[in-house]
Chains A and B, each alone.
Chain A
Amino acid sequence: MSREILLRAEHLYKTYKTGKKGREVHAVSDVSLEIHKGETLALVGESGCGKSTLGRTLIHMLPATAGSVIYKDMDIAAMSDKQFKPYRSKMQMIFQDPYASLDPRMTVRDIIAEPLETYKLCGSREKTTEAVLRLMEAVGIPGEFLNRYPHQFSGGQRQRIGIARAIALRPELIICDEPVSALDVSVQSQVLNLLKDIQKDYDLTYLFIGHDLSVVNFMADRVCVMFLGCICEVADKDELYAKPLHPYSEFLLDAIPIADPHRRNRKRKVISGEIPSPMDLPKGCCFCTRCPYATEECRSIRPELRDIGGRKVACHHPLEGENR
């Protein structure tokens, strides 16, 4: 795979102000990462860890509080909406909830045509409809459903419509924000296969946000594990699943239920406790309150993301060999 970098985030922060006391929620704090052209980078973590916020901040759907996002030597995080408009067509999004993300009062044709019309790509109405039909074919929605409304489709079909809309402008990067978590298993696999096919056909790069690690295992080339707005570990998928280095990655992998009763008594570590409030982050490592290996150092100094054997890990005491 080419290592050409498509998008790079540098020390990205996203903070939400809350309440009257000026309290702040640190949804994303000091995140630096690279998305390579043509790859699928997965962002995983528990709910509230900032993975969706990070995804949206990367493509200018949310303004960054600090830091930069570099795309083609331009800092898109610093741009105004108007300046960003030409780049918007290169970065699209597929949303989690196929029921909420399609306007119930628009027909399928209008939903998929909207981006084409906004960017005036097709000229005439007939040509736009032709383009819509081609997109519908690409995602496996029969052309005769052109004038149907979203409520006439099942969840899986709606997600296909969302995918058609996302690829309409021939983007380079698509943020897939938990695209299958609202779907049933049998439909989920159809949509995942479609996403893989589309990626090949349209030469796409994916940032795949997910909490289901078996789905992520199927989709991703590299995986970025997040906890409380910070990156814990970034590694190639196979390396991460074979041997996680960050204690949190290990807990996350151990928690996956496996559909094989013969393995139910396998050795697994179950994490205790819940996520601390992102309003007052621990002073040291974000994970120190739940980490069984935490030392005084972990509680006082926040670990930097550092290179260990080709991957990046933010931990003072990574799980290497049998040193525990």
Chain B
Amino acid sequence: MDDRNILEIRGLRSYFFTEKGTVPAVDGVDIDVPKGSIVGLVGESGCGKSMTVRSIMGLVKYPGRVVEGSMCFDGRELSGLRENELRKICGDDISMIFQEPMTSLNPVMKVGKQVREALMIHDRSISRAEADKKVMEIFEKVGIPEPEKRLECYPHQLSGGLRQRVMIAMAMICRPKLLIADEPTTALDVTIEAQILRLMKELRDETGMSVLLITHNLGVVAEICDYVYVMYAGRIVEQAETFELFDHTAHPYTRGLLDSIPRIGGSAERLHTIPGVVPNLLHLPKGCAFCNRCGYAEEACHKAGGELMEIRPGHKVRCIKPLETEVKA
């Protein structure tokens, strides 16, 4: 493992074993999260991005299972750990925030107590008074107004933005080295989204933690990520440093996603579309998973899918005919 990385995922495969057949939700994924960086994992629903992070946290549920792969966190291998060992790491050093804060908070427990509980489980020597003080501090840090009042609130008494801040407070209170955020702003309004993204960036700058951010929104990626992985049908199809990816987009799928976003200031009469829908993972095309929707697909694309190839330093793409060469010419 490269010790500049806090997390290294190698060859991760997580499958669902259903009555209709085996669904390769995550099919050979490699991801590096360098220390202190924000890494974005982008894709549409069903592409396997949530399944990837659930595999890291050991949260894959029946009929799903991690089939193989190595997940190395801060020098320790996570796969194969017993549940209680994994739980010690996940919480102490890795925290996760979810898309819908309402369903991930306990509705019948005051939020202050919930956050304190997270701290006291992982730091058994701490006294209750000290813990309370720390909870106050973290509430202030994540920008919850009137924290002493909010500690006594139940989740339903808070707005969506405040609930997500409580989730972030809970995730941050053990000072994790890695924060995994699964669509943290998808359920929120743009104004609140901007606040939460800014907060995550500030916390990263202050504490030096790393963030693995799952999102479907390339706008969010462009705003805060340092590195980007684009996922399609269970595989990484393109990966690069953020500026590189946006400036030299090489995979037709990434290009298609970028072109589908309505641009402010653009006066296009029609939007670019990617024809068709995400393929059923039970019946993937034989060649490249994207070939049926790709405007550039040739015969060869239908026969065999490409491997991830490095086309420029640090920029890898899974396509036998990457765009960059011809578009820029």
Interface residues of A (CB under 8 A from B): 46-47, 154, 156-157, 184-190, 192-193, 196, 211-215, 217-218, 241, 251-264, 268, 270-275
Contact = CB atoms under 8 A, between A and B. Distances in A.
Nearest to A212: B190
The DSSP consensus for interface residues of chain A is helix
Contacts of A190: 273, 275
A211 B188 CA distance: 10
Contact of B190 (A157, A192, A252, A274): A252
Nearest to B161: A274
B246 A218 contact: no
Given A185-B257, A214-B263, 7 more contacts: A184-B216, A185-B216, A186-B260, A259-B258, A261-B223, A261-B246, A274-B159
Interface of B: 44-45, 145, 159-162, 189-195, 197-198, 216-224, 242-243, 246, 256-258, 260-266, 268-275, 277-278
Given A154-B277, A184-B45, A264-B222, A213 B271 contact: no
B264 A213 contact: yes
Given A211-B190, A262-B243, A193 B145 contact: no
Nearest to B243: A261
A192 B271 CA distance: 8
A187 B246 contact: no
A324 to B, nearest CB: 20
A257 B272 contact: no
Contact of B262 (A157, A184, A214): A214
A259 B190 contact: no
A189 B271 contact: yes
B270 A196 contact: yes
Query: Which 6 A-B residue pairings sit nearest by Cβ, starting from the closest?
Result: A257-B219, A218-B262, A189-B271, A186-B274, A46-B189, A184-B44
Contact of B191 (A196, A218, A255): A255
Contact of B44 (A185, A262, A271): A185
A257 B194 contact: yes
A218 B271 contact: yes
Contact of A213 (B190, B218, B257): B190
Contacts of A260: 222, 246
A274 B264 contact: no
Contacts, number: 125
B262 A258 contact: no
Nearest to A185: B260
A273 B218 CA distance: 26
Nearest to B272: A189
A218 B258 CA distance: 15
Contacts of A268: 194
8 contacts: A46-B190, A46-B192, A185-B217, A190-B275, A251-B191, A256-B219, A259-B219, A270-B198
Contacts of B44: 184-186
Contacts of A241: 264-265
A147 B271 CA distance: 31
Nearest to A182: B45
Nearest to A257: B219
Contacts of A193: 270-271, 273
B223 A47 contact: no
B190 A185 contact: no
Interface centre among B197, B224, B264 (most CB of A within 10 A): B264
Contacts of A259: 218-219, 221-222, 246, 258, 261
A243 B242 CA distance: 30
B188 to A, nearest CB: 9
Contacts of A217: 262-266
Given A185-B257, A188-B260, A255 B145 contact: no
Contacts of A275: 159
Contacts of A271: 191, 194-195
Contacts of B145: 273
A61 to B, nearest CB: 24
| Most chain B beta-carbon contacts within 10 A, residue among A186, A189, A211, A259 | A186
Given A218-B271, A257-B217, A185 B261 contact: yes
Nearest to A251: B191
A274 B261 CA distance: 28
Contact of A211 (B189, B195, B197, B266): B189
Nearest to A194: B273
Contacts of B217: 185, 257
A256 B284 CA distance: 35
B195 A214 contact: no
A259 B223 CA distance: 7
Q: Which of A156, A190, A241 has the most CB of B within 10 A?
A: A190
A226 to B, nearest CB: 12
B246 A46 contact: no
A189 B264 contact: no
Contacts of B278: 184
A261 B228 CA distance: 12
B142 to A, nearest CB: 13
A187 B219 CA distance: 17
Given A184-B44, A261-B243, A270-B195, A255 B261 contact: no
A28 B242 CA distance: 43
Nearest to A187: B277
Contacts of B195: 270-272
Contacts of B269: 196
A255 B222 contact: no
Nearest to B261: A259
B152 to A, nearest CB: 18
Nearest to B260: A189
